[in-house]
Amino acid sequence: MKLINKINNKIIIVFALIMMLTTLPVLSACEFAKLPQLVTVNVYSYYDNAVDIVNQSGTTLINANNFVDVENKLEVKVGNTVTLVATSNVGYLFIGWYGSGHSSLISNDSAYSFIVATSETDNLHFYAHFELDPNVENYFTVTFNANNSFTNVEALAGSSFGEEIMPANPTRAGYNFIGWSTVSSAITINFTANTVITNNINVYAIWSISTYAINYNVSGGMAINNRNYNINSATITLAYTMKSGYTFDGWKVTAVTPNTVFKSVGVYAEVGDIITHVYAGSYGNLLLQAQWTLNEQ
């Protein structure tokens, strides 16, 4: 008669049924010593880099949360034969049976038989080792987080194992897009089109703040240094200049990217405007020309 045991539907252990006596005779110490010795056989499942196995429609075929080193114990008489049979889950390959400590390979055969020897005085330990099948069609969801950008980046679901996938680059006012990382606060890229996808992950946009220039054309007046600023700069009061025989009338915008520079709170500067300030929150290059009125003699 055979008895079949399962560990999390991963490992099947087939062994000779041990006869259980309903009554036991009273034995002397000498007679007791002659009884067959019992050895405990411990069997574990081991999944290397376990992940969910998902089909293209998003249905989880195998849940990685079940991939734990579940132990199955059985007591076997010395001299009996034990057969360990490993059955792979969807998306995984059986690598081999390993011995105590999961350090030495015993057999590459999924069905491994052995006789419990009389020399066995300690418990026995066996590990069925499984690895991901590189040829399996496994699908994952990559969620791209634009990280403070107003640009929406949709998650890419149903992406195949190892497939190269990247969305269009997001945009963010006042910043340069650097790339993607699996760490939300990262400043260096660790996720590219060549990154192999092996599980569901979140990736985050990396940004560097952009620098913009305010360039002054003094039109014959006293020279003024141009200056740089960024979107986080406080409101800037534009420089004052002088010109002999003239009255300074302010700065005229001669070039600006539309809807980037505030001339007052919530109001964008346009070409032809006379402005006195660049308000906080601005993020564009600006070319200004001094305006003069000739003084009366």
Q: What percent of the chain has pLDDT over 90?
A: 38
Q: Distance between CA atoms of 205 and 189, rounded to whole angstroms?
A: 9
pLDDT band, residue 12 (cuts 50/70/90): very low
Instruction: Judge whether residue 295 has pLDDT over 50.
Output: yes
203 — pLDDT class (breaks 50, 70, 90): very high
Is 37 or 281 the better-scoring residue by pLDDT?
A: 281
Domain assignments of the chain as residue spans, ordered by start = 2-132, 139-209, 212-294
Residue 127 CB neighbours (<10 A): 24
| Residue 185, CA distances (Å) to 181, 182, 188, 264 in order | 9, 9, 9, 33
Render pLDDT for 100-147 as a digit per residue (tens, 0 to 9): 766 788 899 988 888 887 665 567 888 888 887 877 776 777 888 988
Look at 236 and 98; give whichever has higher pLDDT: 236
Residue 63: its pLDDT value, please? 65
User: Are the C-beta atoms of residues 241 and 224 closer than 8 Å to each other?
Assistant: yes
Its CATH class, for the domain covering 2-132, is: alpha beta
pLDDT of residue 270: 98
Res. 268 pLDDT band, cuts 50 70 90: very high
Residue 225 confidence (pLDDT): 96
Query: Residue 52 — pLDDT band, cuts 50, 70, 90?
Result: low
Distances (CA, A) of 223 to 92, 239, 289: 73, 10, 12
Tell me the mean pLDDT in the region 213-235. 97
Of the ranges 45-49, 108-112, 135-139, 193-197, which is most confident? 108-112
CATH architecture of residue range(s) 139-209: Sandwich (2.60)
DSSP H or E stretch at residue 144:
strand 139-145
